[in-house]
Structure 1
Amino acid sequence: MTSRKTNLASPIYHDDDAARAHLESLLWPHGPVCPRCGVTEDRITKLGGKSTRPGVYKCKDCRKPFSVTVGTVMERSHIPLHKWVLAAHFMAASKKGMSALQLQRMMGLASYESAWFLFHRLRECPKSTTPRGPMGGEGKTVEADETYVGGKLSNMHSKKRPPRDVAMDRKHKIVTLVERDGEARSFHVASVTARTIRNVLVTNVSRKSDLRTDGSNIYLGVGAEFASHAWTDHASGEYVRPGAVHSNTAESYFAILKRGVYGSFHSISEAHMHRYLVEFDFRYSTRKWSDAERAEELLRGAKGKRLQYRQPAEATYA
């Protein structure tokens, strides 16, 4: 994609009519489409009565009215459309993420709950920048690594400090796959074991790929199933070997993730960790795009998705 600069003075961030036209250009690039029966522009009429809400169309086949937000994460939202567009830009442009509390302050939203739910709806939008097939392939390298996200024992009061094994068990276990010069896929797992790692790898990475990891025993068995498997021994201070053998790309992903978790969000519940990982994966996988292009792609992903209030409480593990 070509680089484009963001102009925050643009009407799409301040005016609902301009924001609606922007969304229509993204979600309906070839004209209005009925979200219920799928008919296109020649069977659709735009309603223009004085009592009609702006941006309402009517399908001649199913006889139902609709707007550009029907069938998207924005459907039935009371938050103005220009604030949806601005929030999408903030999410796309904030390298280490933005908290819902900061979003509430910056956009003047009525409540923290509105900002929190708005961001969670937007986290449903990212789509893979490549077809959701296997990562890697012949001649390509995929790195795999795991990390633990949670508070440090040293930061806890000595009277409340649990044993180290208990503290590690309380942390979020994250497994990330990164294709060099490509996308990232992260998974919130219940435990880090050879079986879990194998399931993540064989369902997401082409067996023709070259696998690069650290020296943990959990990778040794599954590594034999790929074109090649090489690793570095972090325990002995080895982080790079000749022939570009390292897992530093995945480590750099974790650096950004942890700066976001500890700096912007401070704490993430088990039920929602997978949604935050989608957000960080999306920004990493589109790192060569401009903020404007990334925000537009985020809004395109709003189509065909709904997030209801009862859904966010559901935890998801790989």
Structure 2
Amino acid sequence: MNELRTLQQAIVYFSDADRAFQYALNFRWPDGLVSCPRCGSEKHSFIKTRRIWFCYGCDKQFSLKVGTIFEDSAITLDKWMLAMWMLANCRNGVSSYELGRTIGVTQRSAWFMLHRIREAMKDDKASKMGSNEGGEVEVDEAYVGAKVKNMHHSRKVKIQNELSKVPAWKNTTRYAGKTPVMGIFDRTSREVRAKVVPNTRRETLQKEILNGINFGSRIYTDQAVAYDGLKAKYVHETVNHADEYVRGQVHTNCLENFWSLMKRNLAGTYVAVEPFHLDRYLDEQMFRFNNRQNKTDVQRFNKALSQVAGKRLTYDELTGAGSATSH
């Protein structure tokens, strides 16, 4: 097989059910040793006409989808492959409406598929950033969310009621209804980590820094008081955004770029993202950002496909907070 280069080539290639199955199979069990995802037994027989195995260890049948993000999905592998290709490579993301029209499923099914793929994109093996030899790291926080005027009436009323209880001098209107997120960028690996945080207080942000950055690293931040005290374990330099954004190597421009890309995707492609789901959209954005350099489209796709096993997201888990399934 020649290396896939474009979405059109992927559509043609994966339209063959046998090819789609074999391609996914090579990533599901890369060593070629198929094992039962339920009991781990390698004693089984393959039922070719149905593309399933019968396990002699637990006397149950299993398919390639069991034990992956595809489990219990009636959607065929060719559509899953295309959905994964699109989300891994479309720079601005893919809305559930667009995906539904492209592969021929309902918007609701497409929305669920996209969140399952984001689950696969999550990096569960991330190590600490920076190094004890002075590796350079940027740390910054941002606020993400829709403008109050664009929100659903019930949410708008709730936020306005909360604001009415806050003293005017605190000037919290700018962040009303928005969700705080924190990011760490490693200048050596050129990778970013970002996550939703409950607030931007010192104890919250510094806990994330201590857990995510090696002691002795050189950390660059703005002059927010939440970062005071980092010099006890790190080399800490700040930039005052009121006067300048760059002072030699001291800046947070790489993280600012990541925030800009993320906000553009959320505002332009996904439009209405509930805070409950924001971490998954961050996983998607981080995946593309961290795999943007020296990787072809098919390599990004393969990376996502290699991470589908051992992860599962049910519809009940996804909608557990009663969030709307919009985009």
TM-score by length of 1: 0.87
Which consecutive residues of structure 1, in runs of 5 or more, have no partner in the other structure?
none
Instruction: State the 1:152 CA deviation.
Output: 4.1
Q: Which amino acid aligns with 2:265?
A: G
Corresponding position of 1:135: 129
Secondary structure of the corresponding residue to residue 196 of structure 2: strand
| Contact 1:211–1:226 (Cα < 8 Å) also in 2 | no
Deviation by residue 1:278-305 (Cα, 9 ceiling, x = unmatched): 1111111111122211111112211011
Secondary structure of the corresponding residue to residue 45 of structure 2: strand
Q: Which amino acid aligns with 2:117?
A: L
Q: Which amino acid aligns with 2:316?
A: R
Corresponding position of 1:202: 210
In the alignment, the residues of structure 2 paired with residue 78 and residue 153 of structure 1 have an alpha-carbon distance, to the nearest angstrom, of 39
1:158-169 correspondence to structure 2 within 5 Å = 165-166=172-173, 168-169=175-176
Change (3 A) 1:115 1:216: same
Corresponding position of 2:95: 99
| Contact 1:4–1:290 (Cα < 8 Å) also in 2 | no
Q: Which amino acid aligns with 2:62?
A: F
Instruction: State the 1:39 CA deviation.
Output: 3.0
Write 1 or 2 for the structure with the bigger share of helix: 2
Change (3 A) 1:61 1:172: same
Secondary structure of the corresponding residue to residue 172 of structure 2: helix
Instruction: State the 1:25 CA deviation.
Output: 0.7
| Contact 2:221–2:227 (Cα < 8 Å) also in 1 | yes
Q: Which amino acid aligns with 1:8?
A: Q
In the alignment, the residues of structure 2 paired with residue 176 and residue 310 of structure 1 have an alpha-carbon distance, to the nearest angstrom, of 29
Check if 1:149 corresponds to 2:144: yes
Instruction: State the 1:105 CA deviation.
Output: 1.4
Corresponding position of 1:38: 40
In the alignment, the residues of structure 2 paired with residue 90 and residue 140 of structure 1 have an alpha-carbon distance, to the nearest angstrom, of 34
Q: Which amino acid aligns with 2:262?
A: L
Shift >6 Å, 4+ stretches: 153-156
| Contact 1:271–1:312 (Cα < 8 Å) also in 2 | no
Deviation by residue 1:177-206 (Cα, 9 ceiling, x = unmatched): 111133211111121111110111111111
Instruction: State the 1:73 CA deviation.
Output: 1.1
| Contact 2:146–2:177 (Cα < 8 Å) also in 1 | no
Check if 1:280 corresponds to 2:280: no
TM-score by length of 2: 0.85
In the alignment, the residues of structure 2 paired with residue 99 and residue 308 of structure 1 have an alpha-carbon distance, to the nearest angstrom, of 20
Deviation by residue 1:240-272 (Cα, 9 ceiling, x = unmatched): 112x11110100100110110111011100110
Corresponding position of 2:324: none
In the alignment, the residues of structure 2 paired with residue 146 and residue 4 of structure 1 have an alpha-carbon distance, to the nearest angstrom, of 38
- Count of residues in correspondence between the two structures: 300
Change (3 A) 1:95 1:7: closer
| Contact 1:211–1:229 (Cα < 8 Å) also in 2 | yes
Deviation by residue 1:11-33 (Cα, 9 ceiling, x = unmatched): 44323221111110111112222
Corresponding position of 1:270: 275
Instruction: State the 1:117 CA deviation.
Output: 0.3
Check if 1:114 corresponds to 2:109: yes
Corresponding position of 2:325: none
Check if 1:79 corresponds to 2:75: yes
In the alignment, the residues of structure 1 paired with residue 13 and residue 62 of structure 2 have an alpha-carbon distance, to the nearest angstrom, of 21
Instruction: State the 1:9 CA deviation.
Output: 2.6
